[in-house]
Copies of this chain bind each other. A is one copy, B any other.
Amino acid sequence: MLTKEENELMTRVGPGTPAGEMLRRYWWPVAFTEVVRTEARPTKVKLLDEEFVLFRDGSGQLGLLELHCSHRGTSLEFGRVEKNGIRCCYHGWLYDRAGKCLEQPAEPEGSTFKDRIQHPAFHAQDAGGLVFAYIGSEPAPLLPGYDLLVREDGCRVVGGGEEFCNWLQRAENSSDGAHSIALHAAGYPNMAMKRPTIKWEPTALGIKETTWVEGVTKPRISHFVFPSHVRHSAARVGEQPRQVIRFRVPADDTTTTTFWIDFYPHKDGQPTRPEPLKTRGFKKDQAGVYERVEDGWWNLPNREQDRVAQETQGAIADRTKEHLATSDQGILMLRKMIREAIDAVKQDKDPAGVFRSAHDPIIFDSSRDEVEALT
């Protein structure tokens, strides 16, 4: 149970808020690489209650700028991407990807006004079919080398969607594997309502959660990756087993975006076989509207189950009324990590999971074999 003040502290993500400043120390996926093509239409991005325009200039480099033109505030989402940057539609100011203003076509010949404009510019990079953004304090850390971003021995499918609730509800869900026996009972009939035995272990990146269920020979392993992501294997009934990472991205206080990677390893382990990336796109839903089925459980199809469980807690869950149980130890560990990360940032130290030096791919021990054992 949190006090009202603690709940506010942990959930608010805007600039200047304690959690917001902490969350700004991480890279976040914000778009699909396939969509942000060279000189294609720009993409509007909302991240941590701020707005940006994302584009790829004529040199193939990504640009991530403050959304509103420095001149009079028109959205650069409606600008034109050119060889050297992006041009605002209103008066034609041209910015390069570093936020330098290159042209102001309505200003007099010889004007140097453009040289005194520095439009806010941020970091963006591609990895695994997604575009990641960093909008926090400089210098930017490295994007962590999570295995599914860098592995080449399989087929990668990326997609996304949004949920109309605060990021912490999504993060708590990511650190809470116990809900699978109930919420996902229809998809995992061999686990349905079976009392689990769960072990939580802190890791350098978050929490390793191991779950044993009677009658299932191998345990289920799921990794919570701070601040809000989850890395596990998935194989619900009717689905092909795969490795999964799901990034839960705070768009604003009451909207959380998911970008996910499903990775299907080659059966023969052949890393060199070419496999085109598949982009499933962004699934748009309507707040509070859910598809229903008849499955004898909650009558919700797979893709709606987590939406319902988290959105219906409210836009920002009221944690002053919760009753955490033994099976919620992952939640308690997560909240402790949040407090420590906020404190670290206040002291201008890197919070956990921030990488500043080159490192090997980060492998998670949630192998495909274990998936098969579970289903």
Contacts and interface: CB of A to CB of B under 8 A. Distances in A.
A333 interface: no
Interface residues of A, number: 62
A289 to B, nearest CB: 13
Interface stretch (A106-114, A220-228, A257-265, A276-284): A106-114
Dominant secondary structure of chain A at its interface with chain B:
loop
Interface stretch (A26-34, A247-255, A294-302): A294-302
Contact of A325 (B78, B107, B312): B107
Nearest to A185: B92
Contacts of A195: 105-109
A182 B89 contact: yes
Interface in A34-67: 41
A91 B195 CA distance: 11
Given A78-B298, A105-B195, A178-B91, A326 B111 contact: yes
A89 to B, nearest CB: 4
A68 B196 contact: no
A313 B72 contact: yes
A21 interface: no
A125 B170 CA distance: 38
A323 interface: yes
A323 B182 contact: no
Contact of A183 (B90, B111, B299, B317): B90
A112 to B, nearest CB: 11
A309 B68 CA distance: 11
A314 interface: yes
A152 interface: no
A268 interface: no
A70 interface: yes
A157 interface: no
Interface in A91-150: 91-92, 104-109, 111, 113, 117
A117 B89 CA distance: 54
Given A71-B325, A195-B106, A323-B71, A92 B182 contact: yes
Contact of A68 (B68, B193, B313): B313
Contact of A71 (B78, B92, B193, B322): B322
Nearest to A76: B312
A77 interface: yes
A39 to B, nearest CB: 11
A84 interface: no
Closest 6 pairs between A and B when the two form their complex, measured CB to CB: A92-B182, A75-B312, A73-B313, A89-B298, A106-B178, A106-B327
Interface of A: 41, 68, 70-75, 77-80, 87-92, 104-109, 111, 113, 117, 172, 178-179, 181-183, 185, 193-197, 290, 297-300, 305, 308-310, 312-314, 317-319, 321-328
13 contacts: A68-B313, A72-B313, A72-B322, A75-B308, A75-B313, A80-B298, A91-B181, A91-B183, A92-B193, A105-B194, A105-B195, A113-B326, A117-B323
Given A106-B195, A106-B196, 18 more contacts: A72-B172, A73-B317, A73-B319, A73-B322, A78-B298, A78-B312, A89-B182, A89-B297, A89-B298, A89-B300, A89-B305, A89-B309, A105-B181, A106-B178, A106-B325, A107-B195, A107-B326, A111-B325
